[in-house]
Structure 1
Amino acid sequence: MPDSVAELSIPPFDSPGREKAKERLYVILQVASWGGLLAVQLVFSSLLPPPAEVRDRVLPAVIQEITLGLLLTHFARPLIQRWGWKNLGWRALGPRILGLAAVQGLLWSGILCLWQPYVLGWMPIRHVSLLAVFVFGWINSFIFLVGWLCVYFFYHLFNRYNRLEIERLRLGAMAKGAELRALKSQLNPHFIFNALNSLRALIDEDPSRARQAVTQLANLLRYSLQSAQLETVPFEEELRVVTDYLSLEQVRHEERLRMRLDVSDDARQWPVPPMLLQTLVENAVKYGISTRPEGGEIGISARIDGDRLVLRVTNPGHVEPAPIRSKSTGLGLANAAARLRLLTGDKGSLDLRMEGSDSVLAEAIIPLPVLRTDS
């Protein structure tokens, strides 16, 4: 998986392979549309009543008309591209389509009216004036050419819409990746300072325990660096890191800090944003344990509820109701809520509220994220 959302592979819309595919599609549609019209004309021509001489004249005339129409539309294509009409909207294209179809229709009908009687020496239908044939042919060709041009430009307008949409997604992914990286960089100092404070308090008192704490701190630092490259991690990894963190904090707070875990087995592999649980527990220690002489208990529970993980962290204390994203709840929680929102949209949430008269609850709802968990 890429290091960030911004590096997700979104192929360029106008890649060489896509251009070749568009060219093949044009040839197929061009041959299919004119071939289909030819087939329809031939079927109707074969149903003409006797004499057979009429059918013998109409059939080659139909083939000539279709061939000429195919050539006119094909050679108009590079002109359309050169004039830049493919970048116009329907309001600007309307008069251009009508004008081009009118000119093409004049050429189509005029060439046939000159070719058939003066070069071949016959008309497909006798006893009809040349002017009537010309006008009738121009009207028919104009209608069909307008339809052909509308389909052609609709295809290109649809492609342009897709190209703009892909570019919007690409820019959105880049912005999302940049925002996630910025939020992660703000979270790391919180965890490092708390861990170092715990270790400093331990070195002089118990060197043996200090060595164990160094190992735990190394694990925390390693996880912090590795998780910065990931969008989600299994909840079990978060829980292991938090256990090390609380072990370090217990050195400083001793019996004032107690921990209670209630985690279901199916919740352990659920993908969560890295450092999310660490942030919630760190906040609980800072505001629920450090500020109370008697300390208290940090409760961590996690269970699966349908297609989402419900993560709850409790600590003693009081909190005023306020949106998580506000400054009053702390930068760490605000960043955690922002990361969760970026990964899960409106389906995820992080809420901080009172539970009972002397307990604060931080509850995170984590649906399956858009991004997969890295292994």
Structure 2
Amino acid sequence: MMRFKKLNILFYAGQDDGAANENTGTAFLMNKNNIYWLMQLSGWILFTILNLLALAVFGKNTYHDYFTWAFVCFTGLAFTHIYRGYLKKNNWYTLSLKKMVARVVSSSVIIGTAMYIFGFMFNYAIGGFNAGEYRIVNTVFTAMNLSFVIFFWSLIYFSAHFFENYKRVEIESLIWEAAVKDFELKTLKSQLNPHFMFNAMNSIRALIEVEPKKAQTALTKLSNLLRYSLKMERTETVPLEEEIKTVADYLELESIRYEERLTYSINVDPLSAKIELPPMMVQTLVENGIKHGISKKTQGGKIFVNSHIANSMLIIQIRNSGRISEEDIKHSKGFGISNTKHRLNLLYGENASFTINNTAEDEVLAEIKLPTGGKINESTYYR
């Protein structure tokens, strides 16, 4: 005969595939689905063994009881797997705590009752039915006990899922922080090119004996560049006029080295002088224009920096002699291009743009457009 009243063993299994994150990898190289099945099968097998041992210890039982409890445990495994698929399909993880608890409790009662009914039917089918064993109190108690087992399974499942989610968010946050730090490092390295520093100091040294006053002026401009670079290290935006002063100092220093091979012009609309933009952005593009354009031409070249306002947008144009390959344009190669696009996107989203193209006059035109109203995003870049 079948005695459901002897079911007093708690369930320990049913963890979600969220029990481990496949992105972090495990010592056993198992993916999340394998971990789910390992926990699901081992949990229900352990549950079955404990209940069969309980049947053997407490009272006299027939083989019908053992087979029936084994069948009930099998239905528990099947029902919880179906239950898992249903709650994943309906995305219960996003529910409020109140709604989630209500659904889990009701589902536990339904599944627990279904397990009892299936067990009763199986016991009847194999000839173990004994009407004296099916009193109301025993029936309700056993169904509630099975419902508690399913509720406990749900508790483990959702705990594993939320733990995995928490760890994944934590890992993604660490990856993002590392990427930002790497980006900042690249930016700081790009702000004042070591080769430029070396060349500038060599140029100043050469001037000291022949033109000491000019060397002193050049040294002052170089110190201004260094001071600006350090000052702007943790600053999101600066007025355009400050950026242009730095660009002017940079071009003045480069003109010492290139002499007649470098001609430059800066034309800034007074209305745009106070508008803010990311620091060192124009300077980096000017530096790239000289490095990849003018320096490669035997006769040298020209570089022009202009700014104006149109349709509530600040437009900055940098023109330099030379050409840029179509592949570099298409794939945003070169840190000056990718850096500019990324920084504009961080601060202004889709409201700002950056383009760089060859013109018909054997020139490269780089153009920055950003809203005069300022940034729309709080950047994590400079925090």
Give the TM-score of the pair, scaled to structure 2.
0.54
Is residue 2:146 matched to residue 1:159?
no
Q: Structure 2: how far apart are the matches of 1:267 and 1:135? A: 84
Which amino acid counterpart does residue 264 of structure 2 have in structure 1? R
Whole-angstrom CA distance in 1 between matches of 2:314 and 2:49:
66
**Structure 1 CA distance, aligned partners of 2:159 and 2:9?**
19
When residues 319 and 325 of structure 1 are mapped into structure 2, their CA distance, relative to the original with a 3 A threshold, is closer
With over 3 angstroms needed to count, the CA separation of the structure-2 counterparts of 1:316 and 1:205, relative to structure 1, is: same
Q: Give the direction of change, closer, same or farther, for the CA distance of 1:255–1:357 in structure 2 (3 Å limit).
A: closer
Aligned length: 273
Per the TM alignment, residue 184 of structure 1 is displaced from its structure 2 partner at its CA by: 3.3
Aligned residue for 1:222, secondary structure, equals helix
1:224-281, CA deviations, whole angstroms, 9 ceiling, x for partnerless residues? 3444x43744253432211211233344536952313235756755342x53322211
**2:141 partner amino acid:** G
Q: Does 1:91 align with 2:94?
A: no
1:8-157 aligned within 5 A: 89-95=35-41, 129=132, 131-133=134-136, 134-157=138-161
Structure 1: how far apart are the matches of 2:361 and 2:318? Answer: 16
| Change in 2 beyond 3 A, CA 1:200/1:341 | same
User: SS at the partner of 1:322?
Assistant: helix
Compute the displacement of 1:314 (Å).
0.8
How far has the Cα of 1:167 moved from its partner?
1.6
Letter of the 2:188 counterpart: K
How far apart, CA to CA, are the structure 2 residues paired with 1:210 and 1:325?
Answer: 42
Pair 1:177 & 2:178 matched: no
Distance, in Å, in 1 between the alignment partners of 2:304 and 2:330 is 23
Runs of 5+ unmatched residues, structure 2: 1-7, 21-31, 53-130
Amino acid corresponding to residue 334 of structure 1 in structure 2: G
Instruction: Report the CA distance shift for 1:287/1:100 in structure 2 as closer, same or farther (over 3 A).
Output: closer
Superposition RMSD in Å: 4.7
Match of 1:249 among 240, 250, 254: 254
Whether the aligned pair in 2 keeps the contact of 1:101 and 1:146 (CA below 8 Å) is no
- Name the residue aligned to 2:335: 335
CA separation of 1:255 and 1:342: change in aligned 2, threshold 3 A: closer
SS in 1 for 2:334: helix
Query: Would you say the 8 A contact 2:236–2:382 is kept in 1?
Result: yes
Q: Indicate the SS of the match to 1:323.
A: helix
The amino acid across from 2:265 in the alignment is M
Distance (Å, rounded) in 2 between the aligned partners of 1:268 and 1:337: 24
8 Å contact from structure 1 (residues 352, 362) kept in 2: yes
Take 2:273 and 2:310, find their aligned partners in 1: how far apart are those partners?
A: 6
Q: How does 1:247-286 map to 2 (within 5 A)?
A: 247-251=252-256, 253=259, 257-262=263-268, 265=271, 268-272=274-278, 274-286=279-291
Show CA shifts across 1:121-153 (max 9, x none): xxxxxxx95543424421233134313431442
Would the alpha carbon gap of residues 271 and 72 (structure 1) be closer, same or farther in structure 2, given more than 3 Å must change?
Answer: farther
Preserved CA contact (<8 Å) 2:266 2:305: yes
Percent same amino acid at aligned positions? 25
> Equivalent residue for 2:196?
191
Given that residues 105 and 139 in structure 1 are in contact (C-alpha distance below 8 angstroms), is that contact kept between their aligned partners in structure 2?
A: no
1:217 shift after superposition: 0.9
Structure-2 separation of matches of 1:374 and 1:304: 29
Report SS of the residue matched to 2:326: coil
1:297-322 C-alpha deviation (Å, 9 max, x unpaired): 4223365877x865431123334323
Whichever residue aligns with residue 257 of structure 1, its letter is: T
Distance 1:238 1:206 in 2: 28
The equivalences for 1:347-362 within 5 A come to 351-362=355-366
Q: 1:250 to 1:304 in 2, by over 3 A?
A: same
Structure 1: state its 5+ residue gaps.
Answer: 1-70, 107-127
Specify whether residues 362 and 211 from structure 1 end up closer, same or farther in structure 2 by C-alpha distance, changes over 3 A only.
Answer: same
CA contact (8 A) 1:301 1:312 kept: yes
C-alpha separation between the residues in 2 aligned to 1:101 and 1:146?
12
Name the CA shift for 1:368/1:268 in 2 (closer, same or farther; >3 Å): farther
- Report how far residue 161 of structure 1 moved: 1.7
Q: Residue type matched to 1:215 in 2?
A: T
Counterpart for residue 37 of structure 1: none
- Alignment correspondent of 2:113: none
